[in-house]
Structure 1
Amino acid sequence: MIPNLFSKQRNGCMGQTGKDRISLILILLIMSVLLLRGIYDPTVSGFADAERHLMDGAFILDFLREMPISNIYDFTTHYYARYPAISIGYHPPFFPCIEAMFNAVFGINIWSSRLAILLFALIGVSAWFKLTQRIFDTHTAFWASLLLITTPYLVQWEWYTMAEIPVLSMAMLTAYLFYRFLENGKSAYLYTTAITFSLTVWTKQTAVFIVLWFILYLIVRRQFTSFIKRKETWIAGIIAVFLLTPLAIITFWLGDQNIDQSIAYTKHSRLSWENLRLYFFVLVNSHLTWPFMILCGTGFGWAIWKRDNRCMYFILSIMSVYLFFTFLNAKTDRYPIFWIPAFCLFAALPIVYLQKYKICYLIHVIVLVAIVIYQISYIYKKPLFYIRGYDEAVHYILRENKTSTIFFDGRHKNYFIYLMRVLDEKKSMYVLRGDKLLTSSSITPGHWLKIHAHSHDDIKRIFDKYGISYIVVEKEDWTGIEIHKELRSYLNSGPFRLIKEIPIETNRWQPQTLKIYQYLHAKSMTEDCLKLRLPSVGKTLNVSIQRD
């Protein structure tokens, strides 16, 4: 007979033994080794969002060091004018705040930011281990956690300083605390749940799906009515509203792209077959390896056959993720990662049902070991994406450029800008982006596109009024927009001298060459204000230029 979900006789609820601690420590050690692969390689890069997160961490650290309480807006806009790669407003700031703490201790660099992600992972996986341990037992928790930390799709996001592991970790912590509240009714767990839920949303807004998950679970447990009647529920709700109201204001103020990605009209019906099946294909093709899927299907079917009500918490998490992210307008395989832990639990679940059958139990353990080894080997076969050569360009500009402005045009502008902040100790440069001054768009070059220059004369006027002496461009235009092609034509035929070519080595994009030009007719800056269009947040900044 399967015990009730809140039975006090579960193995996992009888206190933590030395074996439990060793199991968790082993999980965390294996996870750390996998997540920190290539941590000291400063060229590991490949995702624009990763470089924005890196820049956000640097910005928050600089903000905390200067503490411009009386002129927060001016400090932020002037900082963005110098380093137009920060994304606070589009991305929430909780993860960058933790990043900033590590940057403060270890310096502003990629590896210290990756250590911040490791901290999130250590907390999240510990919470996941304890959650599955309480509901089932230590053996199940061990294997569900081991499968989770060796899932190749998840591991890769630590390598590139993305927010996926932080938000997933915070979601697992929130789920654990909410379960503890339902288990023992202590208000402290509910209040802590409200706080951690708020911080999870401050890590990434898509975490609001957790509300749907918890409501569905309460309804299935027939506890929703009693839950909303409790005074503690309303206090917790007030805490969450208080903590999330600033983020809501920021999102609606600076959230044109976020809102468009979430609830805007889409030309494809949300009830279309293409939309309804999308994330099932993502699950099979991206999230889980094929042997994992087979085992997961076995565990899920077995749990349904046994009517194991302990699995309801995890089944509803999968349902909530599917419903929420299927509804969202924006589609990417990164969004629904919240359901991966539940699938890990189902893959490990036969451990529970086979304990009385030693031979079958042993076979299942062997299969689990084989899958873990397979996933780890898959992780190490997967190459780390890298970009090499941009640091050389930044060093050259800082050494040769005598003005405070540099013009850059290319796909990897965020990486160039981040390196400029890291290597420019005086923080003296303004990096002027071609996709802010020649054109502007949101996220991708053709989305909400506005063209601000149409000819060589327009480009020349921009260079003259901002006192630009050096121009750095990637040889091949990646936007497909005519004025960016015209820029490269003008640099090759106009009053410019090609002074340096740097081969860019990368295994994610097509090989590139970075070209540095000197403007032979360079003039002193005449413009006092820099106009920056920001379609993703629906704003245009007019920032006075600080002459150093």
Structure 2
Amino acid sequence: MQRSEMPSINTQERLLAWALVLVCVALLFAQAPHGGDFYWSDSPRHALNGVFVMDLAKAMPFDDPAGYAYRYYAQYPALTILFYPPLFYAISAPFYAVLGVSHETALLVVALHYLALGLGCWRLARFWLPAAPSLAFAALVLWLPEVAFWGRQVMLEVPAFAFLVWSTVAVVAYLRGAPPRWLYLGAALLVLGMYTKISVAYMGVVYAALIAQRDGWAMLRNRHHWWVAALALVGLLPLAVLTLKFGQANLQSVTGVADAVASRTSWQGWVWYLQQIPSQAGWPLTALGLAGAVMAAWRRMPGLGFWWLGFGVGYLFFSSIDLKEARHSVFLLPSVTFFAVLLLHTLVPPRVGHGAVAALALLVLATAGLTVWTRPVFYVQGYARAAAEVARLAPRDSTVMFSGYRDGSFVFNMRALEGRRDLHVMRADKLLLGVAVRRELGVEQKGLTEGEIADALNANGVHYVVMQPGFWADLEAMQRFERVMSSDQFEEVARISTPANHKAHETELVIYRNKGAVTPRRRGIDIELKIINRRISAD
């Protein structure tokens, strides 16, 4: 990367950047599902984890924090607080405390990260491009189909993305001649990004390579480089301990998963993410990005090492992980976007209308239209209504059993009902099955008879059951459960439709009342957590 002066940015441009990003984020989140209508299974879990942090801070169980967490999970069995890095949840907690526990509060926290992402993209592009192309770059990244799809849900991609982009702004400033404090800031922001989503760690390799490119062997004689590396390693020690202790499933996803769409040991695994780019960014931007990369390479444009390395190192990193999902590689898309913008800025004559500015504006509008038309955020309704209805019916201090695919959505909506904090949720799959993270990785049926299932519901204080008909009905254990619901011991009290804007697993939820001899909810429940390979006891 070549040395050059820091870009000069005036107040008018800053205000324009803020206005543009705010409008984009507002338009995006106006379309975001809310009211407890979660789609992706991780989303309500991320939302619930932040609520747990708030509740933990209020309770201050200094004598037994682990016991408090176990009891919390026993009441709201969708908690994944230690399976994922904790920063997003810590940031969410004060918002819940002030604004209340709701899907909307969680989305607000994501939206603020989305705002930071847009501003960071604008600021980063200004190291290479003038004002107008940089603003277009920021708007394009915000409206990319893959970014907009996951960024308008309570997911970790955009929060981590925001830390990553601002980390890059600081490091690039250092590479362009800013004082060493910018390198410290960049490293700190990258560490915070890893405490949001570990996969952004690959950017540390990019930073080291860029510094080596600039300084050569002299980089090893710079005490600031050693201090930054040491402080970053110390800062990451708690995260490493949490990952080794509770993130075995995440480690397994790197080394090998049984249901990988393309194994990293095959050539298909190494081209899989390339094949996703057209749907992630849209064909127009993908084609322009490829043409821009070819142009930059053909002309040997200097100073673009960050964009080449950022894409290349990131691509190798994500391809080497066996578990592949398109959302994992959203951090690579700014490079595609940058080369598209660079192409239009370089080749479109300024005398044609306003030249490149008009072309960039059209590209932004085309990308936004493509996102709105082809990648609306999915939702499934009905879970908040089911939670409200069963909370209205259930006796105090009783248990509600849930059986269905979207247990996280139901559990979060139960916790959002502040007036019914006395209720506990019990998952049917925990009683009847042993599932290794997700069903595709293995399931064990515990072999309870219909009579034993009915007795277990009575013994656990289950007065009401919320069931998705046909859920995993190919398993004998779940067939027995449905037969128990059809027995004389249970009566149907409500059916709640679950409309969705995609082909969902379910069409309705059924609420049943237990007419049997239900005892008070028992204490001392043992729960198996295969996701962290341990069994916990909750009093």
Sort the TM-score into its range (normalised by shorter chain).
over 0.9
Cα distance in 2, alignment partners of residues 277 and 166 from structure 1: 27
Tell me which of 254, 257, 260 is aligned to 1:262: 254
Whether 2:512 is the aligned partner of 1:520: answer no
Cα distance in 1, alignment partners of residues 476 and 217 from structure 2: 60
> 1:484-523 counterparts in 2 under 5 A?
484-508=478-502, 509-523=504-518
1:412-433 deviation digits (Å, cap 9, x = unpaired) = 1111100110014352121110
Give the 3 Å change call, closer, same or farther, for CA 255–151 of structure 1 in structure 2.
same
Cα distance in 2, alignment partners of residues 176 and 481 from structure 1: 52
Tell me which of 173, 196, 203 is aligned to 1:210: 203
Cα distance in 2, alignment partners of residues 316 and 420 from structure 1: 46
Cα distance in 1, alignment partners of residues 79 and 525 from structure 2: 17
Offset of residue 196 of structure 1: 0.9
Whether 2:430 is the aligned partner of 1:436: answer yes
Whether 2:505 is the aligned partner of 1:535: answer no
Whether 2:148 is the aligned partner of 1:155: answer yes
Tell me which of 5, 14, 17 is aligned to 2:2: 5
Give the 3 Å change call, closer, same or farther, for CA 230–185 of structure 1 in structure 2.
farther
Kindly provide the amino acid, as one letter, of the partner of residue 19 in structure 2. Answer: L
Contact 1:354 1:360 in 2 (8 A): no
Give the 3 Å change call, closer, same or farther, for CA 41–185 of structure 1 in structure 2.
closer
TM score, norm. by length of structure 1: 0.92
Offset of residue 271 of structure 1: 4.3
Cα distance in 2, alignment partners of residues 434 and 174 from structure 1: 44
Contact 1:35 1:156 in 2 (8 A): no
State the match for 2:476 in structure 1. 482
Contact 2:460 2:519 in 1 (8 A): yes
> 1:85-484 counterparts in 2 under 5 A?
85-184=78-177, 186-219=179-212, 221=213, 223=215, 225-264=217-256, 270-284=264-278, 286-354=279-347, 357-359=349-351, 362-381=354-373, 382-402=375-395, 403-478=397-472, 480-484=474-478
Give the 3 Å change call, closer, same or farther, for CA 391–7 of structure 1 in structure 2.
closer
| Identity across the alignment (%) | 23
> 1:37-116 counterparts in 2 under 5 A?
37-38=30-31, 41-116=34-109
Cα distance in 1, alignment partners of residues 201 and 156 from structure 2: 15
Cα distance in 1, alignment partners of residues 136 and 524 from structure 2: 59
Contact 1:89 1:250 in 2 (8 A): yes
Farther-moved stretch of structure 1 (457-466 vs 71-80): 457-466
SS in 1 for 2:315: helix
SS in 2 for 1:515: strand
1:176-199 deviation digits (Å, cap 9, x = unpaired) = 111112222522112212211111
Offset of residue 88 of structure 1: 1.0
1:409-452 deviation digits (Å, cap 9, x = unpaired) = 10111111001100143521211101212112133224242322
1:482-528 deviation digits (Å, cap 9, x = unpaired) = 21122112211352112222222222304522111122223314743
SS in 1 for 2:326: coil
Contact 1:170 1:199 in 2 (8 A): yes
Cα distance in 2, alignment partners of residues 409 and 287 from structure 1: 34
Contact 1:350 1:364 in 2 (8 A): no
Offset of residue 254 of structure 1: 0.7
Contact 1:53 1:87 in 2 (8 A): yes
Contact 2:117 2:161 in 1 (8 A): yes
Give the 3 Å change call, closer, same or farther, for CA 14–495 of structure 1 in structure 2.
closer
Cα distance in 2, alignment partners of residues 479 and 322 from structure 1: 39
Contact 2:110 2:152 in 1 (8 A): no
Farther-moved stretch of structure 1 (401-410 vs 415-424): 401-410
Offset of residue 264 of structure 1: 4.0
Offset of residue 154 of structure 1: 0.9
Kindly provide the amino acid, as one letter, of the partner of residue 313 in structure 1. Answer: F
Contact 2:92 2:106 in 1 (8 A): yes
Farther-moved stretch of structure 1 (127-136 vs 358-367): 358-367
Give the 3 Å change call, closer, same or farther, for CA 361–292 of structure 1 in structure 2.
farther
Contact 2:35 2:384 in 1 (8 A): no
Cα distance in 2, alignment partners of residues 448 and 245 from structure 1: 32
Contact 1:453 1:459 in 2 (8 A): no
| Structure 2 runs not aligned, ≥5 long | none
1:158-214 deviation digits (Å, cap 9, x = unpaired) = 322111111111111111111112222522112212211111001011111112222
SS in 2 for 1:524: coil
Give the 3 Å change call, closer, same or farther, for CA 189–407 of structure 1 in structure 2.
same
SS in 2 for 1:349: helix
Contact 1:37 1:159 in 2 (8 A): no
Cα distance in 2, alignment partners of residues 400 and 224 from structure 1: 70
Kindly provide the amino acid, as one letter, of the partner of residue 193 in structure 1. Answer: G
Offset of residue 396 of structure 1: 2.4
1:3-27 deviation digits (Å, cap 9, x = unpaired) = x72123xxxx352213421431233
| Structure 1 runs not aligned, ≥5 long | none
